[in-house]
């Protein structure tokens, strides 16, 4: 990767402060987890672009991108347990989006797309459009890395949409060609965990407003306030001490809205799952543990009839 790539990431990750800096690092954390998973003999998901994002950023250039780089294997709390969690989440949401696309949904919106490469790596049916919505600096870094790889055009039409979720992002999406009259597969993979409650409610209201019948929404949520024992779990401490990502500080501390109930009241059908249900479904992934950081996580799948 060229120096322009490194400069762009340095501005995003090292030159920022507060929440934005941390969220930039979490995007790299998830990319590293996907890179490691890609090289497993039994991957839950494959992402050939992930390791290039990780290596292009000075903040993550030394992180592992292969299982052989993780001495503790799955027992390692950071790159083993948390990494495999991100891989499991990736696979479950991949399947959700592809299912919607194969049932006829022609546009996909990735809210807080980060370093998500689904527009490039998934086998989309012809005629699909994938909108990647995120901050300008994130999208710019992502595109510079892809340009450096000489990435061929994706099968679907891929559209980058610059937006800030603390403000009204919907005009930017419609200006980019999004059609509210068509069914949409929406994804907010890890976004809502970081938003204040009011911003989450506004985001859900916007998704509802711009969703034609047949639309779907998938997102991750966390239930309640975790106990002191859970907050001391090695997953949190290892992530903070080894790569400088304090997940607990990034999660918004306000009481979370009951978004599934809100969607139900708006006429959506909702299903709320634990990650461990998907571990059983796919036959691999994290299992419950003591004082578990994953126990409060929920994956929500909603559909508008």
Q: Tokens in use for 291?
A: 């004082």
Q: Is the pLDDT of residue 185 over 70?
A: yes
Q: Tell me the pLDDT of the chain averaged across its residues.
A: 90
User: pLDDT tens digit string along 73-128?
Assistant: 999 999 999 999 999 999 999 999 999 999 999 999 999 999 999 999 999 999 99
The DSSP letter of residue 82 is I
- For 230, the enclosing helix (H) or strand (E) is helix 228-231
Q: Measuring CA to CA, which residue among 162, 51, 139, 40 is closest to residue 91?
A: 40
Instruction: Find out whether 118 and 110 touch, Cβ atoms under 8 Å.
Output: yes
Q: How confident is the model at residue 181 (pLDDT cuts 50, 70, 90)?
A: very high
User: pLDDT tens digit string along 4-36?
Assistant: 333 333 333 333 323 334 448 999 999 999 999
Q: What is the pLDDT of residue 230?
A: 95
User: pLDDT tens digit string along 122-161?
Assistant: 999 999 999 999 999 999 999 999 999 987 776 679 999 9
Q: Is the pLDDT of residue 285 over 70?
A: yes
- For 303, the enclosing helix (H) or strand (E) is strand 297-303
pTM of the predicted model as reported, rounded to 2 decimal places: 0.91
Average pLDDT over residues 38-46: 96
d(CA 165, CA 258): 19
Q: Which CATH number fits domain 3-303: 3.40.50.150, 3.30.479.10, 3.40.1110.10, 1.10.357.20?
A: 3.40.50.150
Residue ranges of domains in the chain = 3-303
């Amino acid at each position: 990767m060229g120096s322009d790539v490194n400069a762009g990431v340095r501005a995003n990750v090292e030159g920022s402060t507060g929440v934005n800096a941390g969220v930039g690092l979490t995007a790299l954390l998830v990319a590293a987890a996907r890179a490691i998973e890609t090289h497993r003999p039994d991957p839950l998901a494959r992402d050939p672009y992930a390791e290039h994002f990780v290596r292009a950023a000075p903040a993550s250039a030394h992180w592992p991108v292969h299982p052989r780089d993780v001495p503790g294997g799955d027992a390692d709390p950071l790159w083993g347990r948390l990494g495999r969690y991100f891989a499991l989440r990736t696979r479950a949401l991949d399947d959700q989006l592809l299912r919607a696309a194969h049932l006829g949904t022609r546009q996909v919106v990735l809210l807080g797309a980060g370093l998500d490469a689904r527009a490039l790596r998934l086998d989309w049916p012809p005629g699909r459009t994938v909108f990647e919505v995120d901050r300008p600096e994130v999208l710019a870094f992502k595109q510079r890395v892809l340009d450096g790889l000489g990435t061929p055009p994706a099968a679907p039409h891929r559209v980058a949409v610059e937006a800030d979720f603390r403000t009204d992002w919907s005009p930017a999406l419609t200006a980019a060609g999004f059609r509210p009259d068509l069914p949409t597969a929406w994804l907010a993979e890890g976004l809502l965990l970081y938003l204040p409650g009011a911003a989450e409610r506004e985001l859900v209201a916007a998704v509802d407003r711009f969703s034609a019948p047949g639309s779907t929404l998938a997102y991750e949520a966390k239930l309640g306030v975790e106990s002191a024992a859970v907050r001391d779990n090695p997953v949190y401490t290892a992530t903070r001490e080894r790569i400088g990502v304090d997940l607990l500080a990034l999660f918004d501390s306000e009481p979370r809205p009951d978004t599934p109930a809100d969607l139900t009241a708006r006429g959506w059908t909702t299903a709320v799952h634990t990650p461990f249900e998907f571990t059983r479904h796919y036959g691999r992934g994290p299992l419950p543990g003591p004082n578990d950081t994953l126990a409060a996580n929920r994956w929500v799948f909603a559909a508008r009839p």
